[in-house]
Copies of this chain bind each other. A is one copy, B any other.
Amino acid sequence: MAAPHPDRDPTRPVYVISVAASIVSVHPRTLRIYEDEGLVCPARTRTNIRLYSENDIRRVLWIRHLTQNLGVNLAGVRILFELEERLGTRVLERLYSEATGSAGADAASEPAAVKRAAR
């Protein structure tokens, strides 16, 4: 758990919104919406500027995965996050292994997404 370099502390707020947005390939607008919905809480500088940590980035990538690949809407993401928090465990990892097709067969990589696309 001990970070070899304290500079790479994943909780350290480093990315300004434009950088964070380009990292996760979304519009800055989208990140602000996620924050309005309470799905991410980036730190702020003393002068009120958002700073995203590595963990914030990961959280946003989770939201993207749930919404884009699994078709879940933001309300569903919120429920899943709350659930994870309440259970105190990384519940979502099960979903990820499921979504990445850990069973070995690569064809089953996105059950929901494919179904949605096939409509």
Contact = CB atoms under 8 A, between A and B. Distances in A.
| Secondary structure type dominating chain A contacts | helix
A76 interface: yes
Contact of A94 (B70, B75, B80, B86): B86
Interface in A66-82: 66, 70-73, 75-80, 82
Interface string A98-119: 1000000000000110011000
Instruction: Tell me the number of copies of this protein.
Output: 2
A115 to B, nearest CB: 8
Interface of A: 37-38, 66, 70-73, 75-80, 82-83, 86-87, 91, 94-95, 98, 111-112, 115-116
